[in-house]
Structure 1
Amino acid sequence: MIHNNESHATDLSSIKVVSRQSSVRSIKPKNMSILDNVIFCAFLCLVGGVATASQGAVNSKLGQYTGQGLSSTIVFCIGAAASCVYFLIEVKGRPPANLALMMTKAPWWSWTGGIIGAIFVIITILAIPKLGAGTTTAIIVCAQLIFSCIMDNFGFFGLPIRHYTVWRGIATVGLIGCVGVIAKF
């Protein structure tokens, strides 16, 4: 019999059985992070959106002075340095002892992020002078959202499946319409 503070029996049929791993986690006190705050994460996404929209225009302007290929190289060198600083802050100056082993376990496609980032930067450097920042960003964001929904639907890259519903389809049509309006006007 299980007793609570008032010393009377608790009905055991109401106790939910959980896996051993889950029950161990629930016993340990959870270290809360600011990243556990949904509002803060949404704020970060807003900052990321502003940064992404600004990045194309900033990179394009640098490309006018240095050439498109060199500006992409400069952008990634500065980005690599900033990422290294963030990494050192994250690990408090001491990388994990098993870092090399963990890196060898990563799937092959997880190493293509730098190439994908370079493609993005080069495309914005090339497109913004021709289409403008608004149209370029609208097309990119629309493509990002549609492909993100496709990735969710099929669980690409190990994502949990979230089906492409009729509502997401309607939103997709709306996105395409918004891009048309932004490009035309």
Structure 2
Amino acid sequence: MSLQYLLALLAIAVGGACIATQAPINSRLSSHVGDPVTAAAISFIVGAIILCAIAVARGAVPSLGQMAAAPWWAWVGGALGAVYVWAAVWSVGTLGVVTLVAALIFGQLTAALALDAIGAFGLQVREISWTRIAAIALVAAGLVLSRL
């Protein structure tokens, strides 16, 4: 494995730990502000401020022309993230973090299998294989076991 591959795995593992930690933190915020949608909005505002500051510091602010050239669907990512953050805030108190993350990963893998198979959004097409299906089935089994 290349160093770039190992660093990518480390980065996404850290991102996963952030997701697991984000849900209970945002849930606590929701209990203080009185609404999971408001808590999700505050989470996005804080994140947007930090990311904008980093982009400006790096000199990576795009022009209006660059932004206008993006396909319409490239703008949907924030909305998809908002659905996740709201769903996590709303459900973590009921499910607990382990079950929430297991369900999250199951949903991610199921969607990823379909996205890879059709080469969505310019991705390289990757065939559906029995090993990939088995991986999703094992996560589903883990999801069930997390509730026993």
SS of the aligned residue for 1:163 comes to: coil
Partner deviation per Cα, 1:53-112 (whole Å, 9 max, x = no partner): 1111110111111122221121111011011022123326xx35xx22221111111101
Shift of residue 124, structure 1, vs aligned partner: 0.5
Partner residue of 2:26 out of 50, 55, 59? 59
Higher relative contact order (CA 8 A, sep 6+): 2
CA shift digits 1:107-156 (9 cap, x unpaired) = 11110111111111110111011111111111011110121121001111
Give the secondary-structure state (helix, strand or coil) at the position aligned to 1:37: helix
- Give the whole-Å Cα distance in 1 for the aligned partners of 2:67 and 2:102: 35
Q: Percent identity?
A: 28
> Of residues 123, 126, 140 in structure 2, which corresponds to 1:162?
126
Is residue 2:48 matched to residue 1:84?
no
Aligned 1:142-161 pairs, distance under 5 A: 142-161=106-125
User: For 2:51 and 2:39, how far apart are their aligned partners in 1?
Assistant: 18
> Residue 43 of structure 1 corresponds to which residue in structure 2?
10
Read off the aligned partner of 2:41 and give its amino acid letter. T
Amino acid at match of 1:159: L
Match of 2:38 among 66, 70, 74: 70
CA deviations 1:146-180 (Å, max 9, x no partner) are: 21121001111111101111111111111111111
1:172 to 112, 116, 136: 136
User: Structure 1, unaligned stretches of length 5 or more?
Assistant: 1-35
TM-score, length-normalised on structure 1? 0.74
How far apart, CA to CA, are the structure 2 residues paired with 1:126 and 1:137? 13
Match of 1:107 among 71, 76, 83: 71
Structure 2 unaligned regions, length at least 5: none
Which of 100-109 and 50-59 deviates more? 100-109
How far residue 50 of structure 1 moved from its aligned partner, in angstroms, is 0.3
How do 1:131-146 and structure 2 match up within 5 A? 131-146=95-110
What is the CA–CA distance in structure 1 between the aligned matches of 2:91 and 2:46, rounded to whole Å? 22
